[in-house]
Chain A
Amino acid sequence: MIFPRDATRRTDHKAASETFYDVVVVGSGISGAIIAEQLSQAGKRVLVLEAAADEDRSLKGYEGFLSRFYAAASKDNQSPYPHNPNAPMPRSTDARRIWPGQPDSSAYLVQNGPFSSDTTYTRVLGGTTMHWEAKTPRMLPQDFHLRTMFGLGQDWPLTYDDLSPYYVQAERELGVSADVEHQSYLGATFDPGYVFPMHELPLSYLDKVVAKGVDGTFVELDGEQFELSVRAFPQARNGVPNAAYDNGKGYVPVGAVNTHQVEEGERCQGNNNCVPLCPVQAKYHAGKTLAKALQDGRVDLLTRTVASKVLVDPATGRVDGIEVKVYQDPESPQHTTMIMRGQIFVLAANAIENPRLMLASGLSGSSGLMGRNLMDHAYLLSWALLPEMAGTFRGTNCTGGIVDLRAGSFRRQQAAFAVDIHNDGWGWATGAPYSDLVDLVDQQNLFGAELRRALPDRISRQLLLALMIDVLPNESNRVTVDPAYTDQLGNMRPVISYTVPEYTMRGVAYARQFARQVFQRLGAADHTAYDPTDGAYLTYEGEGYVIRGGNHLAGTHMMGTNSRNSVVDAQQRSWDHPNLYLVGGGSMPTIGTSNVTLTMAALCYRSAERIIAQLQDELSARLQTPAPTELPMPTVVAAS
């Protein structure tokens, strides 16, 4: 995929500020990229604003990320991406224990507690899809009606069937590898004859070892019997194209993005590094969609451009413009303030940055829900040593898991969950295999041949189950801002208040039991140990757990049926500001047990249709008005 050369430079900030765009999009991640691409296809002029200091998405730049990752002593999910004080981002290593009444403001996210989340998102061109793992399950039909079915959470103003055609579009764009026969479970249906763009990725040998013990096992919950099996996850990763796709037209995978022709990124090679960076771009990232969006010249892209305020006309409620701070040097606070204007505005900055920007603009909305209902999947890790060599540390980060408890009547009492079998061993929980090496050498005093025998014995038998547990919306879990906490440019930082809901904790307690049962089935030695000094340590009914963030941020500008129960409508349009769309995970009323990106992408395809229609409507309305509105002169304010 060719990224047009100098696309990030071809537009001058001043020229952009003097242009009246059809649509101004804040954020170049997957949501912003999809909307920009769709609007460009419809012939619209679009401006995309990106806070990061990126240049064009090129192979060289990408390899720069890779080298940075190689050289990093801590290989966490932000390790490839440079620190930028003008567009800071959270890092999982930032999380600290929070003491009551003492918010932790040592890192970008100000954590008000009581729970300290290690959730992250990535502020680079292409957003968090640069570091995401690329699991792409659809939500289940039940997930859209939890309030009606169980009196819990919020119903969506949409059904699975409403979203289904947009899931199809998203699966094409992301290049999903999966088999319909294995994804048709717990009520999920597909159009007759539908196949995914590519065949499902092979299960890992480790998955198969687990399957030997798990397949065919039954568990009972709320009087319902569930048969368990290890199943492949759908993934936005290039595999074997399905010749039957698109009525036999087949599918051509999208390779690496670069400014000149390069052949890379075709088939996944099993680098086992989806997070934080696929070295060959076999994994989808929004740079692929962005490159497409930039092809025809109707999309302008500005980097080093941080949206700082949404400007609203108090008379009409319409957004007039977006104030941005433009910087040159990430290390320097020097910047220029400008205003970007257009007919319609789209905030696609993610579920923390969207409400942060709105609240920093003084726009808390008529529902009072802006920033509330922050959700992120609660991950409980359980780890064990298998009785046989399973070849752990091979494959994509995760190929298979157990998803049979994603839905059921038990959800009236406790959270549903999905289980990942991690091909990267205990890494997430213990820092394996580095921690194992250090222990074997420094504590077990092994050397030479003894060490060589011990390494696979300790590492290649590792099994880590990551149990991803549903979290329901809760108004007190929220993003706020506080002028006391700002970043280098003077933008207010997000302040997070968060508690893991009891409903989720009931799911956590069950999930732990479930993991124990799987380990017993496999004859695997349970090595799980939760550290009470960990900032994310919680007790529930006398047992301690550590809960990790899933970076599946959602809920903070929830969609609903009216302006009192929600921030946006079913098209992600703001109830208060008729020419403003807040898009992404923030619009999701619930997250079920589905990684949020595919659903976000589907919602954005739906919104793009609505935005095109609205532009059309407003254009016709304007043609009937005799005096066209004059574009106000751009405001340029020098940095103080």
Chain B
Amino acid sequence: MTTSHHLNGDSMPAITTLDELYAYLDSAMQLEHATIPPYLTALYSIRPGTNSDAYHVLRVTVVEEMLHLTLVANLLNAVGGTPDLTVAGFVPDYPAYLPDGERDFQVSCARFSRESLGTFLEIERPRQAPDEQSRLIDRGPARRGRLGSAPGNNQLQYYSIGEFYQEISRGLHYLHDLLGDALFCGDPTRQVGSEYFYSGGGAIVPVSDLRSAEAAIDLICEQGEGFGGGIFDSEGELAHYYRFQQLVLGRYYQERDSRDHPSGPHIEVDWDAAYPIKQNAHLADYPADSEVAAAAIAFNTSYAGFLDLLTRAYGGRPELLLDAVTEMFRLRDQMTRLIHNPIPGLDGVNAAPTFEVSVHLAGVAS
């Protein structure tokens, strides 16, 4: 079990009430979701017919981020919370800022490139705080797009995403000691099971007790960072960090490889075979009456609808996740059309989805 090392610390956990637990889990959902737009943008900026290896790696990572999102929704539902992906500010205004140990770093919606891959490696890089006191870092004044901060105090950001989840784990244990199994009072029909979510990237874990809650957190941490130390997780899946690293190192990992030394088949990456899109595009970057602007607004409306659909799926209708996948495929088509179009007036710079959803959410009643 990877989440037990800090449980014996003397200090009070940051989570001592159910409301605090809800706030942390809300924040975790936001965090899990926040990597999806950057991954999607890089994925669909790849010129069709090129970079098949990179395409697969990115695609699977998105699928697994969706899995993580769903695992957090299961956690939140299990303790009686209500996942809501439609609250204002759920989608960050990119660039976002994620924790990376002593500093934080910028995450952008950008084209597929060495640089964006470098960011993805940073997102997924395993990092453990040197000691429990270093778990929270003061990053200075509140900043837009800062993720992984302590709920209610934007200034204090966790040392890493892994540490953020350690804190949730600690809180779960604390509350379980306090409340017993009554902690897991959620409606079990709201749990998403493997009928509605499966991929090669690990099975979904329905959460009903402390054990399954720990298993869900472990899966999230292992898949992303290989937190337990290995390059493969307990289910034999390569952790995201090492998947991305394969593209940089130009080879696949295979069984029995040690970290940083993949010995599998070679990978060829054509770093230039991506559309030159506007980084962290905003609607304001597009001429007001252009088709590009209209398409970007339409995309944002669709994306808001997608988040609304997920909210309903996590709100007791897990079968809607099948429709959510269909919706993601529609979003793919909308994204690629934008990415293939130049921005009028900007020579050689293509459009991209802006993910500015909160502004349009009002119109998406289902």
A binding-site residues for B, Cβ under 8 Å? 5, 59-60, 63, 67, 199, 240-241, 243, 250, 252-253, 255, 259-264, 266-267, 269
Contacts and interface: CB of A to CB of B under 8 A. Distances in A.
Interface of A is mostly: loop
Nearest to A256: B200
Contact of B252 (A67, A241, A260, A269): A260
B116 interface: no
B271 interface: no
B264 A243 contact: no
Most chain B beta-carbon neighbours within 10 Å: one of A260, A267, A269: A260
A199 B201 CA distance: 22
Contacts of A263: 56, 60, 63, 199-201
B329 A241 contact: no
A259 B253 CA distance: 11
B258 interface: no
Given A199-B195, A241-B195, A264-B200, 6 more contacts: A5-B254, A243-B195, A255-B200, A260-B252, A263-B63, A264-B60
Most chain B beta-carbon neighbours within 10 Å: one of A261, A266, A267: A261
Given A63-B52, A240-B195, A266-B198, A5 B237 contact: no
B265 A241 contact: no
Contact of B237 (A240, A261, A264): A261
A4 to B, nearest CB: 11
17 contacts: A5-B265, A60-B52, A241-B195, A243-B193, A252-B198, A259-B264, A259-B265, A260-B252, A260-B254, A262-B60, A263-B63, A263-B199, A263-B201, A264-B56, A264-B200, A267-B198, A269-B329
Query: Is the interface on chain B under 10, 10 to 19, 20 to 34, or 35 or more residues?
Result: 20 to 34
B208 to A, nearest CB: 15
A269 B328 CA distance: 12
A456 B49 CA distance: 29
Contact of A262 (B56, B193, B253): B56
A127 B200 CA distance: 25
Interface in B186-214: 193-196, 198-201
Contacts of B329: 269
Contacts of A67: 49
Nearest to A67: B49
Nearest to A63: B52
A94 to B, nearest CB: 30
The 10 closest A-B pairs by CB, nearest first: A263-B200, A260-B252, A263-B60, A240-B195, A260-B264, A255-B200, A263-B201, A266-B199, A263-B199, A266-B198
B256 to A, nearest CB: 13
Contacts of B109: none
A568 to B, nearest CB: 40
B104 to A, nearest CB: 30
B52 A262 contact: no
A261 B238 contact: yes
A266 B197 CA distance: 10
B198 A250 contact: no
Nearest to B243: A261
A255 B264 CA distance: 20
Contacts of A267: 198, 325
B231 to A, nearest CB: 11
Contacts of B194: 241, 243, 250
Contacts of A250: 194
Contacts of A241: 194-195, 198
A59 B195 contact: no
Contacts of B195: 199, 240-241, 243
A250 B195 CA distance: 10
A250 B325 CA distance: 22
Nearest to A263: B200
A137 to B, nearest CB: 24
A240 B196 contact: yes
Contacts of A253: 198
Contacts of B252: 260-261
Contact of A266 (B52, B56, B200): B200
Nearest to A1: B200
Nearest to B329: A269
Contacts of B56: 59, 262-264
B203 to A, nearest CB: 8
B239 to A, nearest CB: 11
Contacts of A266: 198-200
B48 to A, nearest CB: 10
A532 to B, nearest CB: 43
B265 A260 contact: yes
Interface string B232-260: 00000110000000000000111000000
A241 to B, nearest CB: 6
Contacts of A262: 56, 60, 200
A5 B200 CA distance: 19
Interface string B38-68: 0000000000010010001000100100000
A383 to B, nearest CB: 28
Contacts of A255: 200
A527 to B, nearest CB: 31
